[in-house]
Amino acid sequence: MNILHIDSSPRLGSHSRQLSAAIIEKLLEVAPGASIIRRDLGAEPLPQTEPLYAVALASPATLAAPPMGSLDLSEALIREVEAADVIVIGTPMHNLTIPSVLKAWIDQILRVGRTMKSTPSGKVGMLRDRPVYIGVASGGFFTGERANQPDFLTPYLSLALSSIGLKTQQFLPLQGTAFLDRSQAPLARDKALAALDLTAAEHFREFHDRPAMLTSGSRPYRDVLSLRQASPGVS
């Protein structure tokens, strides 16, 4: 099984990083031989939409004959998604929605004619479905009986992923992180993780014959998993 692991918090010890690392640990219990592609958007942000990329996406004609090199980054990121059997995303909630670094990734992988097509009834995904687990850390509360703020993150990210064919999604919220002290953080994280449903991921059990490895990123994967013992930090 191939896992694409994406983090988007700028803080190394953040709650969302620890939550996504904990999801990876659970997946490795199911698939100990999984290969892992690491995309750390917080540590290595993608560029915002550049002029040539915008030119390429401007019309069907420019998409058919894009400027040289304009789609290279988009293609590389899409191929990472295509190579994955499971995707894990760790994200904080920044000002009611996703961080700009995660939006930059979405802007590269949502591409008409490549990952989705427009129809009279709306956008239709062109990629095969696969499980996507999204660990969301928020300083306040956006769902449940204590919710006191709107949630633009979940509906946006769900629609964006669905529009390219990634419809099997599970959001795992870790809320109220601004009010957690160091001793409370592990319990809160474990409570969020208790809802994790690995049924869809277990479908890929027959592909578990490759050793776990890091194929991109800036540090050994064991360091990513050790974040659960790091300082809780912020979302």
DSSP string, 121-185: TEEEE-SPP--EEEEEE-SS--SSTT--S---HHHHHHHHHHTTT---EEEEEE--GGG--TTTH
Angle at 131 between CA 127 and CA 133, to 5 degrees: 125
Tens digits of residue pLDDT in 182-224: 889 999 999 999 999 999 888 765 544 444 444 444 333 444 4
Give the tens place of pLDDT for each residue, 42-69: 999 999 899 999 999 999 999 999 999 9
pTM of the model: 0.88
- With contact defined as beta carbons under 8 Å apart, do 11 and 41 qualify? no
Asked if 43 contacts 218 with a C-beta cutoff of 8 angstroms, the reply is yes
Q: Which token pair is 71?
A: 């789609």
